[in-house]
Chains A and B, each alone.
Chain A
Amino acid sequence: MTAAQPFNVRVREIVELAPSLKRFSFEPVHGGVFPTPPAGGHVLLTLRDGARVMKNAYSLVSPPSERSRYDIIVRLVAQSRGGSSHLHRKVAPGDVLEMANPVSLFPLISTAKKHLLIGGGIGITPMLSFLPELKARGARFELHQLATLEEVPVFERLLAPYAAGEEIRVHGGGRAAFDLAGLLARQPLGTHVYVCGPHSLMEAVASTAAALGWPKTKVHKESFGGDITGLPFRAVLRKSGIEVEVGESQSLLEAIEAAGVEAPCLCRGGACGQCATPLVEGEAEHRDDFLSAEEKAAGTLIMTCVSRARGPRIVIDL
């Protein structure tokens, strides 16, 4: 499945929240309203920088009930492949961008007795979409946001509209000062935990929860894409009969799309599994959260959105 046809949105407003954080507000180019997004949903933005085309997924931070605008928060990362720096440095109010309809791979579980939200850094974004929804449902929840000391006030401001009378805490003391095991150990039966943040935080939550007896079905991770850069390689697309060069700051999926081949994709962050493509020759360097350890070892599938070749050449069945 490929996300539905993109549509045009206009940049309505850009607000600098912190030196490396900007909130972008979009509105429909031709007036009217956007579709109601799912809580925890994300949109795919197509960013064109000269000949380079990037498609990046961003969690919506505006309330799901808000249809006149879609908001995202983007962090400018030092080793940006171009997406975040393009948004931060080149996009201005009034610009028109291509966006695909929001989808969610990170839904709130309606049968949960309690929702435990854990955000790390910019991983706060899907939580900002969850909070108004949880408030509206009258659901029981607790949120813990990890931040660097200097960004604590920024996140506190973002969470302030939902904070009254709720268990919402921003931790600025680093991971070591955050008692993850204690938090997970005291949760009542029927709690679901949702984590978004750096890969290491998501792994820590998943492994600590498992060690405390949480079933996998109650642990939910939202990957917003780790590092996908690496050594350049050549990919042979067997069915299409072409070869593409994958640059060091480019993903295999982006190289395939640049060659004009329609490839399956959805989250573009190694989480959803839509882009799993048979690997015919060569070895993959797996960077996704979707394939199991056994599947990765078997080496018969590659997730084109985040994984790369280990070596100069691979052949895929696309």
Chain B
Amino acid sequence: MSDQGMKSRPTYAPLAPDPSGRHHLLVVEAAEVPAEALAEGVVPSAFEVWTVARRSAVPSAPAMEEAPGSVAIFRSVTHLFSALEERLARETMGLRLYAAGAEPFLWDVWGRAEKAGLSRQETAFAEVGPKARRIYCVHCRTVTEGVTTSIFTCPGCGASLFVRDHFSRRLAAFMGVQVDAEVPGEVPEAEELYA
């Protein structure tokens, strides 16, 4: 049941600076740039790098340097996104935005990029980290993070949801649909599939 033959799933590739770009900003959902996120021979200093420390004690950056090789550390993903929105709003044409992290993070970055006017040609994503899924309940619209099983209970409406391979780039989430809609109560055993 894990391979559902879905052809529309996004695909990812290790990152390298796009030579046609003028400025390269890499946002990472971790404290360091994971080596597997970069193409062979590419070093993190080719980008201006933003990372997430997930702790309160981060070095303060009085005046953030916006140049290749500079690193800015954020307390949390939310903290990084807030700064990213501000940054994109005042950026000029020529920027290339790169992201490395789990799938929901990548598409949350895309949502902000698209809102700022970036096109797919101006962005690149590398998927690294856990494969746990963000699930959107198509019935009650509750979003649940970190789902690792084929079937789980929606915390919003209590429905037993089957985790489809159908990924929404807009919502940055996979679709969850009621698994016992035909015969209420007939819920197959959940399998641990996404970790």
Contact = CB atoms under 8 A, between A and B. Distances in A.
Contacts of A187: 92-93
Interface residues of A, number: 21
A214 B21 CA distance: 7
Given A190-B118, A215-B119, 18 more contacts: A113-B117, A185-B92, A186-B92, A187-B92, A188-B90, A188-B93, A189-B88, A189-B92, A189-B95, A189-B118, A190-B116, A191-B93, A191-B117, A213-B20, A213-B95, A214-B93, A214-B94, A217-B121
A189 B93 contact: yes
Contact of A217 (B22, B94, B116, B119): B119
Given A213-B93, A213-B95, A218-B93, A189 B22 contact: no
A118 to B, nearest CB: 14
Given A112-B117, A215-B122, A217-B119, A188 B95 contact: no
A185 B119 contact: no
Interface string B76-98: 00000000000010111111100
A294 B94 CA distance: 26
Interface string B8-23: 0000000000001111
A213 B18 CA distance: 9
Contacts of A114: 117
A29 interface: no
Interface of A: 111-114, 184-191, 209-210, 212-218
B91 A189 contact: yes
Contacts of B119: 215, 217-218
7 contacts: A188-B93, A189-B88, A189-B118, A190-B116, A190-B117, A212-B93, A215-B121
A218 B91 CA distance: 16
Nearest to A193: B93
Nearest to B96: A213
Contacts of B93: 184-185, 187-189, 191, 209, 212-214, 218
Nearest to B95: A189
Interface in B91-148: 91-96, 116-119, 121-122
B128 to A, nearest CB: 25
Nearest to B22: A213
Nearest to A111: B117
Contacts of B116: 113, 189-190
A190 B117 CA distance: 4
Contacts, number: 54
B20 A210 contact: yes
B117 A189 contact: yes
Nearest to B94: A213
B123 to A, nearest CB: 10
B70 to A, nearest CB: 19
5 nearest CB pairs, A to B: A190-B117, A213-B94, A213-B22, A113-B117, A215-B121
Contacts of A212: 22, 93-94
Contacts of A210: 20
A215 B122 CA distance: 7
Nearest to B20: A213
Nearest to B117: A190
A310 B142 CA distance: 67
B24 to A, nearest CB: 10
A191 B23 CA distance: 16
Interface in B46-70: none
A112 B94 CA distance: 15
B118 to A, nearest CB: 6
A114 B91 CA distance: 13
A132 B93 CA distance: 25
B142 to A, nearest CB: 30
A180 to B, nearest CB: 13
B110 to A, nearest CB: 14
Contacts of B23: 213
A114 B89 CA distance: 12
Contacts of B95: 189, 213
A188 B22 contact: no
A117 B164 CA distance: 45
Which of A111, A114, A188, A217 has the largest count of B CB atoms less than 10 A from its CB?
A188
A226 to B, nearest CB: 27
Interface in B1-36: 20-23
A218 B94 CA distance: 11
B117 A188 contact: yes
A247 B91 CA distance: 53
Which of A113, A187, A215 has the largest count of B CB atoms less than 10 A from its CB?
A215
Which of A186, A190, A212, A217 has the largest count of B CB atoms less than 10 A from its CB?
A190
